[in-house]
Structure 1
């Protein structure tokens, strides 16, 4: 898998799990898991559970966890996200040694789902249903229904029934066979190249019971014992002997986010698991380490105010510009209309726009002439005006220390679309900036090598000669890395638009991953436009044009993009290869809830194929984003190759969440089980949706509390 940025209807109706999942997602942001419903840990597959077996409780809502587990020729690297209070998903990369008659090593990628459909009560246990390895080779394929009951505050008991791999030891006739003969026999699915759903085999075939207990001896120390229904048929006898169905483990919490678990597995082997968790809602430094905002200063009134001579616009702009610069903001435009002062600002520091808005309002309270009653602050990005917030100076002053100031001030603040730039302030353009920083380009979960990466130095530069016109470039110099060490040669029958990615990292010299000219503009009310030309990404260059319709308070946004591009030379300098293609997409964006956002795009992809991409993200107010995506085109599974269709996990971490210091920098990573050519999209810098939405009323409302920070 390379680091690049970027449902099939089953043959049988999905179980009630799917409907429950949709319901669970719809309640994100309002439903809250009760403390007694929280699991104490994760099992070796990354699922809330015991040692190898699952249990019924869930983890804390929005928790993001990584685990590394190893025992006798098996290593599992799990990434789990608690998508909703009841629902979690796990991506797993496994390295299994000595499989099959040829004693080969298997590198496997798989997904699991876990849903708690009943809460624990005084007399009733919590209950959950789960699916393992639902889109993969099927080596871990299995389903379960499990119940867990809290016996005492420190003792829990779990019992469940499993199918597939979890029904392979101590099995009995499937009780669901009483409903239909379909459930009696489990047919081996035709997995082909992997990456496809096989719902017809879910909950079929022999079943088996499993169970276990957990005892928290102290707040940090936990003892676990379980009876496993997994026969380990693929692995047993191949340098590993399953002698017993019983597993024992000792888990110790090193700190609130880190747990180490040692286990004795199946009567013959020892295992070790490392688990680290974090929650996007809890930054490393709590409220942050940014400087205190300037105090709101009441204006002089009465005779005192009447004696103050109002400065002219040039003097006023100079005063405001200096004060804004101290807050990491730039003044681009200014105008006065009667008792209203309008300013246009460029936010260079804060990842949350409502905080930039609040800092600007505080500055105006201290610098605006006494005759000004109203502040109108326009937020712009790349010289493109997006939003104007208009508020009363009297409200700002009177509510500064009110216990519910955010709610009251927001109710009295008008937020509208900003169509036009304000008159330019002298010296505001041209804008130039540059920075030197380290870069890391990872490749995760490759079928042969799970971790490859290049580390080096990056030089970023940007020039904005006039509002909306941006020239930017990026230079890389690799210092150390192994992205060029990929051993697999692409066998794709499609144009090699992504599968030759390793060839772009062969050089040790300076590369030019990006060199572009972009123009941002407002073609109409609620409309935003962008045209970008140049070397758009490491593998393609050309021209990209985009238009977006996004009203201030609308859950729905619509976009269109067309690109005419040519494949770049492998040295990532200025030359091109022969392959040319035109791609185009129509996109619909929709906010299902405050945190759950979806996007559906249909159109033509880099390999010339046609299809659709479905994305589902959970976005947090502080800038975190965790999402899933899948693309299906007219390329067949056989043509696509291993994996059958493009899919993956997208992760965005704001740097200020990590450091506590204000920053607009984000760390973006996409985890793909495999990078192929079908469904490949162009990675164009500066796309409109995130730029626009982060500065509109929808986002400002959700983060309005930061106005006062």
Structure 2
């Protein structure tokens, strides 16, 4: 094989993986991606250990549990875009004593995968689907591999995949190194993309075939050059040199499996690796577009009430009623009661002979457009016939965000039409922050709300204990003095759990407290690495107790000031300003905080460490429900840098995102992981129950808790508070306007 120039090798090694990200805007002329049903041992569509060019249905969230005597691999996979698959894996394998830890004889390793399908198959021709992928592309690289793969449907029951693999997929049967030698991974600190490894070293072929025996059973065979060289001791050198390497070698390169579909979402598989190693796998996949209750099970809204003819109500049509001072209070009371039954709070109202504006707080519906639609219906039933202009303004804790203006005649005319038709005649604008002639609903303020409920706190992906949990009771209370001035707090009492108070490093709790310092050996403030010192309290804790003031000084500017116990580890003052016109895809924000570290046990006590932290932030909403965010500023440890966040939100409320922060801390100062990164998942509770609700389940998943790149955890930040009532989000969920 002719050797490539150094420049050619570098271009090929860099531009192929970069295409994974640049290809997000896939050519609209392409057909729909090839969809696969079989999940391989790494948690992505494929055969057994080799990949395919198949995708999962868009917005599918899946998980796998894979076990054999060679490894244990647990993975989360998400089809973030129709052609882009991402996976987060957590794998365990045995290690030599003291190879990686003085206390463990095994390693839990975290890894990420990316796969992009850049070509779809031609079902009537010879062209296959093709994809490029990066497997375990940063950090320790225990399972590091890159590949190009093609998949072709031979007939409705048979699909064949073939490709070329590097790294893990080329441990045997190499054909040469077309792009240069493959350096070993940098495992001193880990967590960095191993760019210099991508598509380097030996390349080897792989091939697989899957036969769909019937609707439930699929049989797969593959030829793989992943021969588990480190696990079986064949390889002389393996990452970190900690593999136990005492397993039997594979007898051959053939792997076989049988997969059985259990209902629509579950799959169980048994497989044989190399003729002598048996394994089992369980997979689950949920498609966000296929909710258990697609239309919801909420009660139908009240129908629109068409106005009577002018001859039947001449006083109502003339507007003479507006001169009666008792008219608005009576109408506002009737409308307030009706909205309350629909899960809306009528905050204030203005009323004239031909125009009515209501400011509502949506307490129930995930899609703000559904709350607006139901409010419009009720307004047609409560208002005199002369009122033609309906203005529905969404309020978030006293912040008027956006106003939807409708002609009453359009509401009456289009009730039984598609939601897009009412969207075409609706006008969404920035809400006027001035109260004008708005009248607050009697008895609404001050408002006191409270709830007593159980809580579950979990921690995953820790090398010492992969899953930790805490269960207890939580009391939440909120007192709103006037619109925008809110006192809120939470009290928790732990009942049981595996989470316990622990000191960082190898110190005991007593030793760490005796040191009386909030700095590590490198002089970096311990702003998060000692977070377990706040856990395991048997006495009640107060995670949050704050007084917040929200205001809107102009039509496009929002402000917030929060003071008190802001989060479990910090108290102080947090200020924020956000510029966001309702019809703009761009928002700009700034936040400045002065906080002090809280005591580990005394809920009202503080330690010596205090810091000023803050960021300038830019938010942009792209097409396809994708949101990007850039934060630049100073973090809790005093380090300076930036955070990039990318999130996709689906029409049904699912949110999946990822973030990465890089600051001026060196790799040594930051520690294992090199920089802060993680993924987030947020699923509306109503998606699974069918009942309308604003509650969500999910959270952040990060590989490690480090001090660098750590931000203050402030609840009710302005962007998150107002995002659901901005024009872009309202239009995204407009299909539920008439629901």
The TM-score normalised by the length of structure 2 is: 0.90
Who is 1:448 aligned against? Answer: 464
Match of 2:45 among 45, 48, 55: 48
Alpha-carbon deviation of 1:33?
A: 6.2
Distance 1:352 1:234, change over 3 A: same
Distance 1:473 1:13, change over 3 A: farther
Bigger mean CA deviation after superposition, 280-289 or 640-649: 280-289
Where in structure 2 are the equivalents of 1:220-619 lying within 5 Å?
A: 220-237=216-233, 238-241=245-248, 242-308=250-316, 312-402=327-417, 404=418, 406-418=419-431, 419-421=433-435, 422-484=438-500, 489=505, 493=522, 494-571=524-601, 573-619=603-649
Where in structure 2 are the equivalents of 1:13-28 lying within 5 Å?
A: 15-27=14-26
Alpha-carbon deviation of 1:346?
A: 1.2
Alpha-carbon deviation of 1:647?
A: 0.3
What CA distance in whole angstroms lies between the structure 2 residues aligned with 1:225 and 1:101? Answer: 38
Alpha-carbon deviation of 1:69?
A: 0.4
Alpha-carbon deviation of 1:12?
A: 7.4
Alpha-carbon deviation of 1:23?
A: 4.3
Who is 1:4 aligned against? Answer: none
Distance 1:438 1:269, change over 3 A: same
Alpha-carbon deviation of 1:484?
A: 1.2
Post-superposition CA distance 1:633-683 (Å, at most 9, x none): 000111111111000001111111121111111224101011100000111
Who is 1:203 aligned against? Answer: 199
Alpha-carbon deviation of 1:191?
A: 2.9
Who is 1:168 aligned against? Answer: 171
- Indicate the SS of the match to 1:45: coil
Q: Which blocks of at least 5 consecutive residues in structure 2 are unaligned? A: 1-9, 234-244, 507-519
Who is 1:8 aligned against? Answer: none
Contact 1:17 1:115 in 2 (8 A): no
Q: Which blocks of at least 5 consecutive residues in structure 1 are unaligned? A: 1-10, 177-182
Contact 1:44 1:76 in 2 (8 A): yes
4+ long deviations beyond 6 Å: 30-33
- Indicate the SS of the match to 1:457: strand
Contact 1:616 1:629 in 2 (8 A): yes
- Indicate the SS of the match to 2:561: strand
Contact 1:646 1:678 in 2 (8 A): yes
Match of 2:721 among 691, 696, 700: 691
Contact 2:206 2:225 in 1 (8 A): yes
Contact 2:17 2:133 in 1 (8 A): no
- Indicate the SS of the match to 1:298: coil
What CA distance in whole angstroms lies between the structure 1 residues aligned with 2:341 and 2:160? Answer: 58
Bigger mean CA deviation after superposition, 551-560 or 237-246: 237-246
Who is 2:56 aligned against? Answer: 59
Alpha-carbon deviation of 1:326?
A: 0.9
Alpha-carbon deviation of 1:342?
A: 1.2
Please tell me whether residue 97 in structure 1 is matched to residue 111 in structure 2: no
Alpha-carbon deviation of 1:153?
A: 0.7
Please tell me whether residue 134 in structure 1 is matched to residue 164 in structure 2: no
Contact 2:140 2:186 in 1 (8 A): no
Paired residues in the alignment total: 689
What CA distance in whole angstroms lies between the structure 2 residues aligned with 1:682 and 1:58? Answer: 37
Contact 2:140 2:185 in 1 (8 A): no
What CA distance in whole angstroms lies between the structure 2 residues aligned with 1:112 and 1:315? Answer: 61
Alpha-carbon deviation of 1:97?
A: 1.2
- Indicate the SS of the match to 2:169: helix
- Indicate the SS of the match to 1:16: helix
- Indicate the SS of the match to 1:235: helix
Contact 2:398 2:484 in 1 (8 A): yes
- Indicate the SS of the match to 1:15: helix
Contact 2:118 2:132 in 1 (8 A): yes
What CA distance in whole angstroms lies between the structure 2 residues aligned with 1:412 and 1:170? Answer: 65
Alpha-carbon deviation of 1:32?
A: 8.3
Please tell me whether residue 191 in structure 1 is matched to residue 198 in structure 2: no
Cα root mean square deviation, aligned: 2.0
Distance 1:313 1:129, change over 3 A: same
- Indicate the SS of the match to 1:303: coil
Greater length-normalized contact order (CA 8 Å, ≥ 6 residues apart): 1
Alpha-carbon deviation of 1:57?
A: 1.4
Alpha-carbon deviation of 1:144?
A: 1.0
Contact 1:46 1:67 in 2 (8 A): yes
Please tell me whether residue 120 in structure 1 is matched to residue 118 in structure 2: no
- Indicate the SS of the match to 2:439: coil
Contact 1:137 1:194 in 2 (8 A): yes
Alpha-carbon deviation of 1:208?
A: 1.3
Distance 1:646 1:299, change over 3 A: same
Who is 2:240 aligned against? Answer: none
Alpha-carbon deviation of 1:189?
A: 3.2
What CA distance in whole angstroms lies between the structure 2 residues aligned with 1:158 and 1:385? Answer: 55
The TM-score normalised by the length of structure 1 is: 0.94
- Indicate the SS of the match to 2:313: helix
Who is 2:241 aligned against? Answer: none
Who is 1:179 aligned against? Answer: none
- Indicate the SS of the match to 2:311: helix
Contact 1:33 1:85 in 2 (8 A): no
Contact 1:165 1:230 in 2 (8 A): yes
Alpha-carbon deviation of 1:610?
A: 0.2
What CA distance in whole angstroms lies between the structure 2 residues aligned with 1:358 and 1:455? Answer: 39
Who is 2:691 aligned against? Answer: 661
Contact 2:599 2:606 in 1 (8 A): yes
- Indicate the SS of the match to 1:676: coil
Distance 1:552 1:439, change over 3 A: same
Distance 1:530 1:372, change over 3 A: same
Please tell me whether residue 627 in structure 1 is matched to residue 657 in structure 2: yes
Who is 1:180 aligned against? Answer: none
- Indicate the SS of the match to 1:318: helix
Distance 1:92 1:485, change over 3 A: farther
What CA distance in whole angstroms lies between the structure 2 residues aligned with 1:21 and 1:130? Answer: 8
Post-superposition CA distance 1:73-128 (Å, at most 9, x none): 51111011112111111111111113589594111111111111221112122111
Bigger mean CA deviation after superposition, 520-529 or 14-23: 14-23
Who is 2:7 aligned against? Answer: none
What CA distance in whole angstroms lies between the structure 2 residues aligned with 1:219 and 1:33? Answer: 25
- Indicate the SS of the match to 1:479: strand
What CA distance in whole angstroms lies between the structure 2 residues aligned with 1:64 and 1:99? Answer: 35
Contact 1:69 1:274 in 2 (8 A): yes
Who is 1:5 aligned against? Answer: none
- Indicate the SS of the match to 1:369: coil
Distance 1:360 1:157, change over 3 A: same
Alpha-carbon deviation of 1:18?
A: 4.5
Alpha-carbon deviation of 1:706?
A: 1.1
Who is 1:3 aligned against? Answer: none
- Indicate the SS of the match to 1:189: coil
